[in-house]
Structures are given as structure tokens and as C-alpha cells.
Amino acid sequence: MRLTTKGRYAVTAMLDLALHGDQGPVSLADISARQEISLSYLEQLFSRLRKHKLVVSVRGPGGGYRLSRGTDEVFISQVVDAVNESLDTTRCGNRGDCQNGEKCLTHHLWSDLSNQIHQFLSEISLADLMKNREIQVVAARQNLRQGNDESQTINTERLADRAPA
């Protein structure tokens, strides 16, 4: 199993959006700068996220993206699935034709592992990640590095102070 950059970047971008969305729509340029992800790559990812109704776009000055629902209603598996990222650990793409057109000896083991990974990610919401103290510390550092306005940095630091250790 290999989670590629597509899945990793989509989750990272959605978490960034969740962390910064309380101040209004977030531009992809801001996410790109904070997370060091190519703007054109983010545009491709957000096109898929929008099609799966995980985000909505806001046009005009001050526009960008916002989550389509609460952070407690967006699960990591949904983000990964939206960008067509495979979490399949089988060699055959779970088709069951791994050994000369038939299932191999360990097909069910790897298929079950894939299901377990998907289930695990289905139980973690953006809100769960936002509560993580280490994530809050990283977000505060990124805000300071990007020179975001002072109030946003203070809000992020306050969240980090309240997050469980």
C-alpha cells in the first residue's frame, strides 16, 4: 500500500482549509504558500473535492474555498476517496486475479488490511485532527513563517494552548 502525494496533499490542504476557514474563504494561493504545494496541483485537487461536495468555491474579491460542512462531518477517508486515491494493499487492485488470473494465497489478508485502513481513516474527522496539539503547533509556526495577520496567528496559538497535550 502506498498513499501517494495526491492523497497526502489533499488531506493536508483540507486540514489547512479547516484551520483557516473561520476567517472566511481561504485562497488556494494561501494554502499553496503555507503547505508548499504547487498551486496548479491544488487546483486539480480542489476540482475533485468540489465535485464530491467537500468544499465550495466563493468567487470574487476575497474569494477562495470553504468547507461545505462542519469539520466534524468531513472524514479523512472521504478526502482520500474524492481524489481517487487507492488505499488498496493487494497486488491485483483487489480484483482477485493476483496469481495467473486467480486469487493468491494472501489475497484476503491484504484485502482485509485495505479495509482496515479505510475504516481507520473513516473514523478520523478534520475536527479530530484540529484538536491535536502537535498539529496546532505546526499551524502556528506556518502562520508565523508566512507572516499572516497577527490576529490569525494569535487565534491559532490560543487553539494550540487549549488543545490536549
Residue range 104-150, pLDDT digits in tens: 999 999 999 989 999 999 999 999 999 999 999 999 999 888 775 44
Give the DSSP letter string of 4-15.
Answer: -HHHHHHHHHHH
Band (89; pLDDT cuts 50, 70, 90)? confident
Q: What are phi and psi of 74, to 5 degrees?
A: -110, 115
Ranges of each domain in the chain: 5-130
What is the largest distance, in Å, between two alpha-carbon atoms of the chain?
61
Distance CA 53, CA 65 (A): 12
The single residue listed with the C-alpha cell 494569535 is 154
CATH of 5-130, one of 1.10.3720.10, 1.10.10.10, 3.40.50.970, 2.60.40.740: 1.10.10.10
Give the DSSP letter string of 88-124.
Answer: --SSSTTSS-TBTTB--TTHHHHHHHHHHHHHHHHT-
Distance CA 111, CA 58 (A): 40
